[in-house]
Amino acid sequence: MANTTAVYARIDTTLKDNAENILAKLGITPSSAIQMLYSQIVLQQGMPFELRLPARRPTAIGDMSKGELDRELQKGIDSLREEKDYTMEEVDALLAKEYGI
């Protein structure tokens, strides 16, 4: 038998339950998932995913891929088809709320 040790962590109950439900559907035990994470940390010499704060500002059009731009333009077209319209004041309020601008 392999030499093993216990890892103890306190996490939010809902987060734990949601994650374990997904792991169960994948046929992975929580212990196996933690083993995988630790293995990737060793292989990557750090976290196996990017850690950064989310953008607080809208993305400039020049920074978007063609696919991203197409999706955003389609949202506008869909909004027009659904006859959703916004006043300038509503747009300003949405931008202030979502991006602080």
Number of domains in the chain: 2
In a shared domain, residues 90 and 68: yes
In a shared domain, residues 26 and 4: yes
CB 55 within 8 A of CB 98: no
CATH number where 16 lies: 1.10.1220.10
User: What pTM did the predictor assign?
Assistant: 0.51
CB 40 within 8 A of CB 48: yes
Mean pLDDT of 78-98: 84
Can you tell me which residue has the tokens 């339950």? 17
Task: Name the residue with higher pLDDT: 1 or 52.
Answer: 52
pLDDT at 64: 83
Tell me which residue range forms the domain holding 72.
61-99
pLDDT at 79: 83
In a shared domain, residues 5 and 43: yes
In a shared domain, residues 47 and 1: yes
In a shared domain, residues 13 and 39: yes
pLDDT in tens, 28-86: 999 999 999 999 999 999 999 988 777 666 677 888 889 888 988 898 888 888 877 78
